[in-house]
Structure 1
Amino acid sequence: MLGLTSTNSTEERDPDQEESQTTDPNKRIILINPLTQGMVVIEGAASLESLLRDMGNKNGQPPASKASIEAMPSVEIGEDNKDGECAICLEEWESGAIV
C-alpha cells in the first residue's frame, strides 16, 4: 500500500502546537505493508540507498547475554519426553540427554 501525504497550510495549525523539524509534507512518501504491519517513511531527499539502510535496521529484541544463557536451568530428558525435538536446532531428543 502506498500513501502520499498532503500539505497543511500554516494558518490551519494550532498556535499552541510545537513546530516539528520535518521536511515539506509534499516530499514525503509512506509505504505500509499490511501483512507485517510495517511502515516506511521516505523523506523527500532520501535515496534508494538510505531506504534500504532503513529497511535493514531491525527493531527486534537484542540477543540474550552469555550470563542469562548460562543461568538457564538444565533439564534431563526422560522416557516420557523422548519423542520431542529441540525448538532451536530441530534435532530429536535422546532419552537421558541434558538440555
Structure 2
Amino acid sequence: MFGEDVELFYADGELVTPEAGEPFRGFLTIRDAKVFDAPLVGDCQLQFPATRSLSKSQLINVDGVQYRVAEQPMRIGVGNDLVVGLFRERV
C-alpha cells in the first residue's frame, strides 16, 4: 500500500493544513505521557502518510486549531506512515 492507497486510508482523518504546502488528512490523537518509560514530546500526536512532509517547528492547522511540530517525523510500520508530536499553540 503506497501513494493513492495510503491517501485513501487517511480519507476520514482530520484536515491538516501546513503553513507551506498542500493540505492533507491525518489522524490526531492525545499523546500518552510515556511509552516504555520514555517521555514523549508534544501534547498530541499526528499520524499521516509518508507521501507528505512536515518539519520540526513548522506551524500547521488541524481542523481549525493551530499546532507547532515538536520533532522530526518518524516512520512507523513498513514506512508508509509518519508520526510526529505536536504542541498546541496558545493564543
TM-score by length of 2: 0.26
Q: What TM-score comes out, normalization by structure 1 length?
A: 0.24
**Greater relative contact order, per chain length (Cα 8 Å cut-off, separation 6+):** 2
- Higher strand residue share: 2
* Structure with larger Rg: 1
